[in-house]
Amino acid sequence: MTQQTEGTTPAHAEIRELKSTIGALRDELERERSIREEAVRRAQAVGQDENKHLQGTVAFMRQALETAHQETETAVREALRNAEDELTQLRSTIAAMRDLNERAEAAKEDAVAAVHSRYRDDVAQLQATIRALRDHLQGSAK
């Protein structure tokens, strides 16, 4: 039995050494697995942070776009209101100028009619004077 005890001792030592190696490898494998899991968790956390950041950026850009759209609509409404006001003023000015032009035309026509009336009166008076002078001359010549 001494030989078996002595023969088994190196085998036992080798088994113990193998068990120790297996344990060390398991520990190292567990550490590697833990490190990988931690790396995955970090990568996921970074991804989630980046996702939150991108969502915030998208929300900000969406809000900026909506604000720009509202500002554009406001500017368009203001421009339309100004254009309508200007059109109203122009129409009013055109109506006033037409009225003024019609009055000027009527005044001109009245002035021309007055000149023609005076002309006809003057011609009638001159013709009457000529007739009277003729009659007078013809009466004196007889």
Q: What are 35-52's pLDDT values in tens digits?
A: 999 999 999 999 999 999
Question: 1-5, 25-29, 49-53, 82-86 — which is least confidently predicted?
Answer: 1-5
Buried b (16+ CB within 10 A) or exposed e, 122-133: eeeeeeeeeeee
Q: Cα angle at 108 between 126 and 122, to 5 degrees? A: 5
Span 116-139, mean pLDDT? 92
**Per-residue confidence at 6, pLDDT binned at 50, 70, 90?**
low
Looking at every residue in the chain, the average pLDDT score rounds to 92
The DSSP element (H or E) to which 61 belongs, if any, is helix 2-141
What tokens appear for 48 in the block? 């989630």
